[in-house]
A and B are shown apart, each in its own frame.
Chain A
Amino acid sequence: MLTTDTPRPLAPAPTVRFRWLDTLWLQVTGTLCNIACQHCFISCGPKADQVPMMTLAACEEALAEGTRLGMREVYFTGGEPFLHPEIQALVDRALALAPLTIITNGLLLDDARVEWLAERFRTARYSLDLRVSLDGMTAAQNDPVRGRGTFERVVSCLRRLGAAGLSPVVTVVEHETGLEGNAARQAFLEFVRGLGIRQPRVKFLPLLRLGREVRRTHGYEPEEAWGAHALAASVESSLLCASSRIVTAQGVFTCPILIEKPDARLGDSVGQATRDISLKWDACRTCVLDGLRCNT
């Protein structure tokens, strides 16, 4: 009998058919972030250089390829995208081709940046959207995972965005009990409205037990892998990996969740990465069972 170090499911994991390229993600700043959240699923931080920044040229190439493949939208992520020295050029390049969403912790959005974003929001050819992370309605709830003082700073950023007439999606990771369910969503919406955001939007995200979160709590158990269980067609087609890919400075990966898994690397270019994949990673269970869909 064949033995291996890590237990493996007996049958192959189900396949996720690649439908088409809806969303092209760019990990513009690699793993570089200005903070180091306890639950960050890709261990980003001020000294985290395991994935380097993308150059402007590399981003342009990826955007051109995405355009050829008929992408519908672009997401910028990191790390913290606003740490990229050429972020304004990047935003303009993307917005000339497709709608853009930037995933940010909000801490670098000072008055000048907010004003610039509001101007782009009003005049760009396609829609510009922001996702700002805030993991609680109080400092006591947010700061233990995102770092001391971050609650106050994000709240002022949200007020600035609201005053500029922008309405970011506030994303909330369900890092502790009490943050899930309809009542929490409703309360969060009202909280965001109270910060002067006229049309509040919130998005709750289940916790991914990867990266630094493994140290905060624990990782996935081997028996938690999705294994050989069949996948309903409606679930399969709604998974992120069915209609998007992420480009990093180290190649193209199945999805933004797995950029630290070498076996989730699909190739050097987006064109090489538009193929079916198998749901063999432990984090896949979170997508399938908790309905994690990165898109709004």
Chain B
Amino acid sequence: MRAAFFGGIYNNHLALAAAMADARARGVDALYCLGDVGGFGPHPDRSLELLRASGMPTVQGNYDHSIGLGLEDCGCGYTDPRDNHFARISYAYTQEKTSSVHRPWLAGLPERLSVDAEGTRLVMVHGSPRQQNEFLWESTTPDPFLERLLEQAGADVLLCTHTGLHWQRRLRSGRRVVNVGALGRPANDGATHVWYALLDTRKPEPVELIPVAYDFHQLVREMREERLPEEFVETILTGWWTTCLEILPARERLRGRY
């Protein structure tokens, strides 16, 4: 089986379209989305329409849950006032611009998808199998903890997103954890491309993390037309995160500019 996994779309419909085309060109049998369709970028409905038209199975992210039910906030739980300020702006924008026809779909998304890929059990979640908004960062997620988590979830391969930063690890038991990263914004590494994960069960190293280029200049034009904060635009243009930094562990944070 060959499949592509997309995380954190954050309204970046241009990156989503580019990643879908890239994965199809690589001959995948299936596409999956791991949630957080909204936030940060412009025109929420465009990503939602792309996703729904493709019929791609989608896991619910915390953002999808909040937007779907019309809740007051995104459930990100920032304490830093600056982070909160920007989180509120992108949530209010997405809330206002998401058409009501998509809300029941968002609210009804499953929290977990399981697929049997030729004897390998894939479990897809947004944050972690036990909590939709749990962050699995590379530098703060210990192996023994992951072994337990995957065992409890009955997973040979766990696929997640939520942090916005991609990584993968093979555990001593042979199980694998893949944070597929995000399509919505670059990975805080000074580059403009975004990332997704490609699984090919026939390969000895079955998971590849793939960078995709997309028309980010067009995204920036749309973000400015929609009067989204220049801080968000800067991230798209430079590849450095400018907001929501407090959630980053020390090591991941020090790799970035801010």
Contact = CB atoms under 8 A, between A and B. Distances in A.
Nearest to A130: B250
Contact of A99 (B149, B249, B258): B249
A275 interface: no
Contacts of A165: 254
A73 interface: yes
Contact of A129 (B145, B148, B249): B249
Contacts of B253: 167, 199
A67 interface: yes
Interface stretch (A34-42, A120-128, A140-148): A120-128
B142 A126 contact: yes
B96 interface: no
Contacts of A167: 250, 253-254
Contact of B145 (A71, A127, A182, A201): A71
B204 interface: no
Contact of B139 (A20, A67, A127, A199): A127
Interface residues of A, number: 25
B142 A98 contact: yes
A296 interface: yes
A72 interface: yes
B59 to A, nearest CB: 21
A73 B142 CA distance: 8
Given A70-B149, A165-B254, A167-B254, A127 B144 contact: no
Contacts of B140: 72-73, 99, 126-127
Contact of B144 (A70, A182, A185): A70
A126 B139 CA distance: 5
A227 B149 CA distance: 36
Interface string A189-215: 000000000010101000000000000
Given A121-B250, A128-B250, A199-B258, A182 B142 contact: no
A186 interface: yes
A68 B148 CA distance: 9
Contacts of A129: 249-250
Interface in A1-52: 20
B81 interface: yes
Interface string B69-88: 00000000001111000000
A277 interface: no
Contacts of B18: none
Nearest to A296: B246
B245 interface: yes
Contact of A127 (B130, B149, B249): B249
A97 B249 contact: no
Ranked nearest first, the 9 interchain pairs of A and B with the lowest CB-CB distance are A127-B139, A70-B148, A182-B81, A99-B140, A98-B142, A129-B250, A127-B251, A127-B249, A67-B144
Interface of A: 20, 67-68, 70-73, 97-99, 121, 126-129, 165-167, 182, 185-186, 199, 201, 203, 296
Interface of B: 79-82, 130, 137, 139-142, 144-145, 148-149, 245-246, 249-254, 256, 258
28 contacts: A70-B148, A70-B149, A71-B145, A72-B140, A72-B141, A72-B142, A72-B145, A73-B140, A97-B144, A98-B142, A98-B145, A126-B139, A126-B142, A127-B139, A127-B249, A127-B250, A127-B251, A127-B252, A129-B249, A129-B250, A165-B254, A167-B250, A167-B254, A182-B81, A186-B81, A186-B82, A199-B245, A199-B253
